[in-house]
Chains A and B, each alone.
Chain A
Amino acid sequence: MSNASKPDNQIDQLSKKFDQFETMLNGSKGSIHETRKAAIAHFLKNGFPTSKNEEYKYTDLDKAVSKTIDFSLEPNASEFGASELEFGKIKDLDAYELVFVNGQYQTEQSSVPNLDGVIITDFKEALSSDSDVIKNHYSKYASFEKDELVALNTGFSINGSVIRIKKNQTIDKPIVLRYINSVVNDQTQNHPRNLIVAEESSSASVIEIYGDVGDHVSFTNEVTEIVIAENSQLDHYKLQLNSNKAFYTGTTQVMQASSSRFRSYTFTVAGSIIRNNLNVDQDGEGCETHMYGLYLLNGNSHVDNHTTVDHKKPNSYSNELYKGILDDKSKGVFNGKIYVRPEAQKTNAFQSNKNILLTVNAIVNSKPLLEIWADDVKCSHGCTTGQLDEEALFYMQARGLSKDSARSLLLYAFATEVLETVEIEPVKAYLEKIISDRLH
């Protein structure tokens, strides 16, 4: 860090940063600027969430950020090498892709053909062309009044992606959004903002990839708003390939209409502090939601997954499975909420969180919550924390496997339950490789 900063300086730094940001925008503030101003005012008033906030009880962002992140730094160089541009690229994956390094859209690297069925643009371009998607949907779902991190992102929202899948269209290839932090020379901070709109009876997969190149600290605060119209299907992946010095906070806010299906996949393999908020509103009948998560942690990593499913209408379904393997001094936090509103009769909601602790220093804090106001429902949650089964280990050792390979085999099997839900083969293969490298 170039200069030591005191805790309250963070807010001052960000306040100045916003003034600079406004100057930089100059004439091209766009229709959303009033929202930005309101959001940043909210953030500056409240600051980063502390552990006194029940939602951030186990993840004191204020403390973590104030020690490490220097918000006064100017954005660094705009030239990037292949190591940044190629990072996190999935082999053999045929996809439409948007690439961002330190928040800047890389036109050369991105491949967004003109298609009939889908419009994929970077956020800046969508803003300048005054897109209807932004007008109708931006900041309509992720409320900055409810979460300081959303407020911070909304204040600085300029970089990111806007995807509109048109009515009755099925997109043939996955859409990849790759956000790379270049931290070779110094720290960097980014606030990616994504807006994904799936119109009626459409279907698509979106893969967000986050990563770091370099040895410095990065800070990413991302917000994705997803709207799924009637009869549509959307699969949403988050691959967090960050370095062990990364601070990442992300909010995915989903709005589902009747008979829609949403599937979410979150994979985390490292990070200093990772916080994922996944909030799904089922605002129609017959919705289906699947949420899968896998976190493999070592070192001092701290990962906090918060999920919420709000069942508002009848006949819906949700299923959640989050699994974690914690090594060294890592810490895993899980908080899952299921709300079933009085109107949402015949809801089926399931939730499961399973953890394996590998060392005496690893910690798990799990809080699976059910809040139910309707009577004709089936809801359950389960949570287990334990270690590898000694008998299973012995069984394999007795058959000639070394202790290490028996152990990694069992851990791999534990992870597979989540992994096998991935339907895109190259993504699955890519994750399989990362996981098996880590476990051996």
Chain B
Amino acid sequence: MSKDDQILEEFTSKEYEHGWTVDIDSDQAPKGLNEDIIRFISAKKEEPQWLLDWRLDAFRVWSKMQEPHWANVTFPSINYQDIIYYSAPKQKVQSKSLDEVDPELLETFKKLGISLEEQKRLTGVAVDAVIDSVSVATTFKDKLGELGIIFCSFSEAVKEHPELVKKYLGSVVPVSDNYYAALNSAVFSDGSFCYIPKGVRCPMELSTYFRINAANTGQFERTLIVAEDNSYVSYLEGCTAPMRDENQLHAAVVEIYVKADAEVKYSTVQNWYPGDKNGKGGIYNLVTKRGICAGNNAKLSWTQVETGSAVTWKYPSCILKGDNSSGEFYSVAVTNNYQQADTGTKMIHIGRNTKSRIVSKGVSAGYSQNSYRGQVYVMKRATGARNFSQCDSLLMGNKCGAHTFPYIDIENKSSMVEHEATTSKIGEDQIFYCTQRGIDEESAVALIVNGYCKEVLNQLPMEFAVEAQKLLALTLEGSVG
């Protein structure tokens, strides 16, 4: 196809849409990491002593750990002393309503396309927006408060609900879990906290927007979601970052604690800056996400659409501890240019009759490398466990790679575990079928890819699904197989 080069050219010259920076005066910590920096962060946030101790503990554990290198990604080693670990937009008093929020901040969100007012009025989505570590405004708080739902920034939760934070912090992802989780535990600056009381069904989708703004700052958020017995919540997370030449580190931790009969849905659309067409710059997204189905009949579902980041290292996992609990993982990972993604999940079956389902769709184009890495572990006592995994990869062009690394460890005879994976390209006959019917080649690719990812996109809440579809088409524009 002669058109290929031309289209590819067109596509690769496509600039990152969200690449701009806004000058907001920010309050920064000096570069580097040591116990004093941690004390500085803790003091800035007016944290209680127990949390400072917890951070210091994490720092000591981290200092003894080695950076992991097993993932199928390569990037220059990170100098952890060359990062600013705390950067807060300057703001004197905590704002009570949107009107009091710095107008420049609001402008930032407008550019992102998530005007808070708009969102508040039109979509009924409660947004907790996080720019560079500090949560600036949380909408719909009062409305949620009536139901007893707590949805606030992490630092606020530390002040107002210390007993809850203390009880659940680190209960799913312990300090010593892995290198990046330990780092996060030591220096996390802010994040979201969400608590759904017993028997409450959260009436709206809760949403957080992450955005890395100041140059040279790593972002370390911490999200903690606790769903009490028989409750329900759907939680959305979206991320963007402006264009920066140097790679920025993002090492977040998400913990989800699901009790008996409760259900949590966690959806992410991630489009951090992926670097330019030569693989320069971009975000290192090294994230630990894990949830536990602690009670019987608990349900946890992860949905992710990963289109951004130069390097992604992310394995949202489910610990299925309660009997009859179930875990789901739906993922679309799209990589282009020099992006590298190593993502997947872990399903750990501990309780009886636990079920898990994994659907992973990878699309690689350009010079990118896309890997699925997942584990299904059925423990001895997990009688009647059931798993189904499906990992499909789509390749566009012959410079990219698609890799599958599934680990299937079964220690129980009554379990049924199935794994399937396929790799292929878009069929010429499929494209021909579309072009013959007057759909141009580019739209045909978008159409086919969207159809290919549909199983996952269908899991997303409506607002996100639209955005995700747009992102997919955008990321793959022109990369006709």
Known contacts being A365-B407, A385-B410, is A370 close to B421, with CB within 8 Å?
A: yes
Nearest Cβ distance between residue A364 and chain B, in whole angstroms?
A: 5
Contact A375 B403 (CB under 8 A): no
Nearest Cβ distance between residue A361 and chain B, in whole angstroms?
A: 8
Contact B416 A342 (CB under 8 A): no
Neighbour of A369 across the interface among B395, B404, B409, B417, CB < 8 A: B404
* Any A CB within 8 A of the CB of B267: no
Contact B409 A370 (CB under 8 A): no
Greatest chain B CB density within 10 A among A342, A367, A368, A375 is at: A375
Known contacts being A357-B412, A377-B424, A379-B423, is A367 close to B406, with CB within 8 Å?
A: yes
Contact B408 A385 (CB under 8 A): yes
Known contacts being A381-B421, A384-B417, A384-B418, is A374 close to B408, with CB within 8 Å?
A: no
Residues of A within 8 A of B411 (CB): 363
Neighbour of B393 across the interface among A342, A355, A366, A372, CB < 8 A: A372
A172-194 CB mask vs B (1 if < 8 Å, else 0) is: 00000000000000000000000
Complex: A362 Cα to B411 Cα, angstroms: 6
Complex: A228 Cα to B398 Cα, angstroms: 28
Contact B398 A367 (CB under 8 A): no
Complex: A381 Cα to B415 Cα, angstroms: 20
Contact B403 A382 (CB under 8 A): no
Known contacts being A366-B408, A375-B397, is A387 close to B413, with CB within 8 Å?
A: yes
Contact A372 B401 (CB under 8 A): yes
Complex: A376 Cα to B403 Cα, angstroms: 15
Contact A370 B423 (CB under 8 A): yes
Please list 8 pairs of residues, one from A and one from B, whose beta carbons are closer than 8 Å in the complex, sorted by A's number.
Answer: A342-B399, A363-B410, A366-B408, A366-B409, A368-B406, A380-B423, A386-B416, A387-B414
Nearest Cβ distance between residue B112 and chain A, in whole angstroms?
A: 34
* Any A CB within 8 A of the CB of B481: yes
Complex: A387 Cα to B414 Cα, angstroms: 6
Contact B417 A386 (CB under 8 A): yes
> Within residues 387 to 437 of chain B, which ones have a CB less than 8 A from any CB in chain A?
393, 395-425
Complex: A42 Cα to B397 Cα, angstroms: 41
CB closest residue in chain A, given B412: A360
Contact B413 A362 (CB under 8 A): yes
* Any A CB within 8 A of the CB of B60: no
Complex: A372 Cα to B398 Cα, angstroms: 10
Instruction: Please list the residues of chain B having a beta carbon within 8 angstroms of any beta carbon in chain A.
Output: 70, 380, 393, 395-425, 481
CB closest residue in chain B, given A375: B395
Residues of A within 8 A of B396 (CB): 375
CB closest residue in chain B, given A332: B410
Nearest Cβ distance between residue B1 and chain A, in whole angstroms?
A: 12
Residues of B within 8 A of A371 (CB): 401, 403-404
Complex: A379 Cα to B420 Cα, angstroms: 11
Residues of A within 8 A of B415 (CB): 357, 385-387
CB closest residue in chain A, given B383: A360
Interface SS of A by simple majority: strand
Greatest chain A CB density within 10 A among B396, B406, B407, B410 is at: B410
Given contacts A365-B409, A368-B421, A386-B416, 14 further A-B contacts (CB under 8 A): A54-B70, A360-B413, A362-B413, A363-B409, A363-B411, A370-B403, A370-B423, A371-B403, A374-B395, A374-B398, A379-B422, A381-B421, A384-B419, A386-B417
Residues of B within 8 A of A376 (CB): 398, 425, 481
Contact B414 A364 (CB under 8 A): no
Contact B408 A364 (CB under 8 A): yes
Nearest Cβ distance between residue A304 and chain B, in whole angstroms?
A: 14
Complex: A368 Cα to B409 Cα, angstroms: 12
> Within residues 51 to 84 of chain A, which ones have a CB less than 8 A from any CB in chain B?
54
Neighbour of B404 across the interface among A357, A378, A381, A385, CB < 8 A: A381
Contact B413 A359 (CB under 8 A): yes
Complex: A69 Cα to B79 Cα, angstroms: 47
Nearest Cβ distance between residue A156 and chain B, in whole angstroms?
A: 33
Nearest Cβ distance between residue B384 and chain A, in whole angstroms?
A: 10
Complex: A99 Cα to B444 Cα, angstroms: 63
Neighbour of A364 across the interface among B403, B405, B406, B409, CB < 8 A: B409
A289-322 CB mask vs B (1 if < 8 Å, else 0) is: 0000000000000000000000000000000000
Complex: A363 Cα to B405 Cα, angstroms: 19
Contact B400 A358 (CB under 8 A): no
Residues of B within 8 A of A357 (CB): 410, 412-413, 415
Residues of A within 8 A of B400 (CB): 373, 375
* Any B CB within 8 A of the CB of A383: yes
Neighbour of A383 across the interface among B397, B399, B408, CB < 8 A: B408
Contact A378 B412 (CB under 8 A): no
Complex: A94 Cα to B400 Cα, angstroms: 51
* Any B CB within 8 A of the CB of A345: yes
Residues of B within 8 A of A359 (CB): 413
Complex: A355 Cα to B415 Cα, angstroms: 11
Residues of A within 8 A of B404 (CB): 368-371, 381
Nearest Cβ distance between residue B352 and chain A, in whole angstroms?
A: 13
Complex: A359 Cα to B412 Cα, angstroms: 8
Residues of B within 8 A of A368 (CB): 404, 406, 408, 419, 421
Contact B424 A382 (CB under 8 A): no
Residues of A within 8 A of B419 (CB): 366, 368, 381-384
Contact B408 A365 (CB under 8 A): yes
Complex: A413 Cα to B444 Cα, angstroms: 45
Complex: A355 Cα to B397 Cα, angstroms: 36
Nearest Cβ distance between residue B10 and chain A, in whole angstroms?
A: 20
Residues of A within 8 A of B420 (CB): 380-383
CB closest residue in chain A, given B371: A371
Nearest Cβ distance between residue A302 and chain B, in whole angstroms?
A: 14
Residues of A within 8 A of B402 (CB): 370, 372
Neighbour of A367 across the interface among B70, B408, B423, CB < 8 A: B408
Contact B398 A373 (CB under 8 A): yes
Contact B410 A380 (CB under 8 A): no
Nearest Cβ distance between residue A351 and chain B, in whole angstroms?
A: 9
Residues of A within 8 A of B418 (CB): 382-384
Contact A380 B408 (CB under 8 A): no
CB closest residue in chain A, given B72: A371
CB closest residue in chain A, given B417: A385
Residues of B within 8 A of A381 (CB): 404, 419-421
Complex: A376 Cα to B480 Cα, angstroms: 12
The 6 closest A-B pairs by CB, nearest first: A357-B413, A375-B395, A383-B419, A366-B408, A380-B422, A370-B404
Residues of A within 8 A of B413 (CB): 357-360, 362, 387
Known contacts being A359-B413, A360-B380, A384-B417, is A377 close to B425, with CB within 8 Å?
A: yes
CB closest residue in chain B, given A340: B423
Residues of B within 8 A of A369 (CB): 403-406
Residues of B within 8 A of A363 (CB): 409-411
A101-122 CB mask vs B (1 if < 8 Å, else 0) is: 0000000000000000000000
Nearest Cβ distance between residue B337 and chain A, in whole angstroms?
A: 16
Residues of B within 8 A of A387 (CB): 413-416
Complex: A192 Cα to B419 Cα, angstroms: 37
Contact B425 A383 (CB under 8 A): no
Complex: A194 Cα to B396 Cα, angstroms: 42
Known contacts being A345-B398, A371-B403, is A377 close to B423, with CB within 8 Å?
A: yes
Contact A383 B422 (CB under 8 A): no
Nearest Cβ distance between residue A369 and chain B, in whole angstroms?
A: 6
Nearest Cβ distance between residue A419 and chain B, in whole angstroms?
A: 23
Complex: A365 Cα to B410 Cα, angstroms: 6
A25-48 CB mask vs B (1 if < 8 Å, else 0) is: 000000000000000000000000
Nearest Cβ distance between residue B336 and chain A, in whole angstroms?
A: 14
Complex: A342 Cα to B398 Cα, angstroms: 6
Complex: A376 Cα to B481 Cα, angstroms: 9
Residues of B within 8 A of A379 (CB): 422-424
CB closest residue in chain A, given B387: A385
Residues of A within 8 A of B399 (CB): 342, 373
Complex: A388 Cα to B212 Cα, angstroms: 53
Contact B410 A364 (CB under 8 A): yes
Residues of A within 8 A of B395 (CB): 372, 374-375, 377
Residues of B within 8 A of A386 (CB): 415-417
Nearest Cβ distance between residue B338 and chain A, in whole angstroms?
A: 14
